[in-house]
Structure 1
Amino acid sequence: MNKYQIQGGTPLHGTITISGAKNAAVAIIPAALLVDGVCRIENIPQISDVTLILQILQELGADVRTVNRTTVDIDCSHIRNRQVPYELARKIRASYYLVGALLGRFGWAEVPLPGGCDLGGRPIDQHIKGFVAMGADVDVRNGLICAKVPGGRLSGGQIYLDMVSVGATMNIMLAGVLADGMTIIENAAKEPHIVDLANFLNSMGANIMGAGTDVIKIRGVKRLKGGTYSIIPDQIEAGTYMAAVAAAGGDVLIQNVIPKHLDCITAKLVEMGVDVEELDDAVRVRRFGPISRTNVKTMPYPGFPTDMQPQIAAVLCLATGTSVLTEGVWDSRYRYVDEFRRMGAHIQVDGKVAVIEGVPQLTGAPVNACDLRAGAAMVIAGLAAQGITEVGDIHHIERGYEDLVGKLSGVGANIRMITVPDEDAKSQVG
């Protein structure tokens, strides 16, 4: 079993380059199913979620060719298989985007219910509502999402999302680009990766208007053609390294970012006494003095992202005074709290509210990554702690962070991957 071993207490200095956005890549790659021709997708992050979604396309019959480390050519022209392999789909949350893409292209899809991080109830009812409004019959049975269009081709529909849902917004966009007529999504999510998906589809010939606002209009077209597209930088990866500098101290230039996407994160860090300088495509983050307490509530974009909640909690554990953290999106985002307590943090949770009383110092301890972002938060806490922290279950972290050890080592962190005997294997041998 692999773990991260961190000797904490060293400020960070240097430059980190941000990879392509995970949440954009895992939707844009399935969107290639809709394209008649070769898509060249650039700035793809080297993470396990992307590897899985590319494997799924290959299993469906796509021709996937690696051009270089961050670029692939995908040709889905000759796909005939529409049944997504169960073992691959169950490992990744974003597998549900295959429903919208396959429905849009073939009028038929059979996709296993998604896996990924367990953050409480993640219903797909808003996705289904959209597909039904466009003429599909949808049934969820035996762990499968089965969707079929009786006429073979979706029709435009008007969909009001009962709650702001990034996944449903993107899935309905995928389904709508080749549908007959106009599809309108009201109360749509506005995240940067939604705009990126719309820009990708439009660059291939789609007609999508309003992405980034709460009303998106998709006028169906007959076909999408091939082309080249570069994925935006990862907002959450950048925010994670900003939080790492805030917790551990130091001076780091974080490059290949869109500073506007980081406004909500920057604002909170500045409140906490961190110096953030915005440049054209970079931010410089410095922290040498004490961290001030603040209150944070996660909200849909442009609010503070739920995917940054555990990372900001790691910083607040070291703040002077008491901070209040309110989760406004998911039900079960605080499963990491017990891990922080092992390191000496003072956190009390009541429902969706965590009260964090800052401590002068965290202490290294063995901890586990219970999900992707919680795992990143454990690393941040370990960087700031005195002593050695070992982070287990790092497969969660590798779902969304490219070369985390290399990037942190490059700015002076004492972090390495170690291999330890698997306790289950040892017990079976005994």
Structure 2
Amino acid sequence: MKRSTRLGLLVVSTVLAGAPLAHAAGEIITGDTVGPADAENTLIFRMTGDGPRNNDPNVAAGYGDLFRAYVENHPGWKVELQMMSGDINQEQARILEQAQSGNAPDCAAVDSFVLAQFMGAGVLQSFSPYFSEEEIGQLFPFVREGITGDDGDIYAWWWSTDLRVLYRDKSVIADAPETWEATKAAAIASTDEGKEGLLFNGSRYEGTTFDWLANFWGQGGSLVDDSGKPIFAEGENRQKFIDAVNYYRDLVESGAAPKRVASIGNYDDFNAAAAAGTTALFVGGNWQLKQLKDTLDEETFENWTFSALPGPTADQRSTGTGGWTVAALSDDPAKIEMCADLAREIYMGPANELQEQLPTRADLYSKYEVFGSPANKAFAEALKTGHARPGVPVYPEISNQIQIMFGKVLTGSQETEAAVDEAFQASMDAYNRL
């Protein structure tokens, strides 16, 4: 996931109608239908904007071509598209509830960080018959682990991912900081050049939690145990968690990061700061490299690069990874196969190339020219140490409490240990209510 999931939008449970996007060989693609209107069979697909209704006309047209080819490969079928709203947490909860009551779509986009909840509820169908061992073996370890059930079968196809990196202006900060101390020193040095220091998300925003968690994970910390119970403030985890929180706190208190980070909750703020020349260092997502290229003039963009997120030591590093999966919720064998084919023919590679979304299979980086760039090769290397959010029911509340905690810590209104203890207790209370 690379955007906020808390947009406060109401769930859209009906399909979106729209003007026809394409018409060829008797097949019509509209906002809610792909394939012949009189097709004998229908696959209902609940999806995000990764399809013919994408806001970018070029991307929408590209998906139109992919979906048209898909229905041409499957005579007698049409696809009914159901669009999700921007409130992903509510949308995913609704799909799970519908699946448990037998009213779910046949096939759906499932956010990677809630995939374990779907598998635990037993509502997903095995995809193992439709993907080879070689294809599964090419998946990054965190992806392969995320889609594999206790029985060894895979229950979704995780097709796109993202990660967090440290961006810097090379004309101000020549060398990539590899540790927390080096990052602090580089950020302070940048303030001597008139910059405002290191920028990062620090407000009530999912990105605040996700971007920061790499500092905890890099030390080997765990948010929850195997049962999904919060353990981040217990045992060895406690000091690792406190140290990671104090890293951010010290950045603000030392002036290495501006106090305004406590109110930042939007990656676009970093692009704007880079364009305005007010920052030389920020924590952001891999997708922002293209945004910087599109926003900055060529000479300015040449000054910007990225590196792996630093850790307390150069060997203690991680990065948060998200992304979307396609999964089957129907128990109809024909529809399960259609859903698997949709994942294969549209999303496993072609959609990655179309939207320049990072593939989850290592071999696709050499198959598609766009992913052969030095930047995308570096992203692929960083994904090898990627860490996904735990797919447990209590995670959203853990994230919420971490966000609240940073509101206190970054403003200096509460000491770190007290804020951590409150976040942990609130998370435990939420877990006990489940």
Shared fold (TM-score, shorter chain, > 0.5): no
Larger helix fraction of residues: 2
Larger strand fraction of residues: 1
TM range (shorter): under 0.3
Give the TM-score normalised by the residue count of structure 2. Answer: 0.26
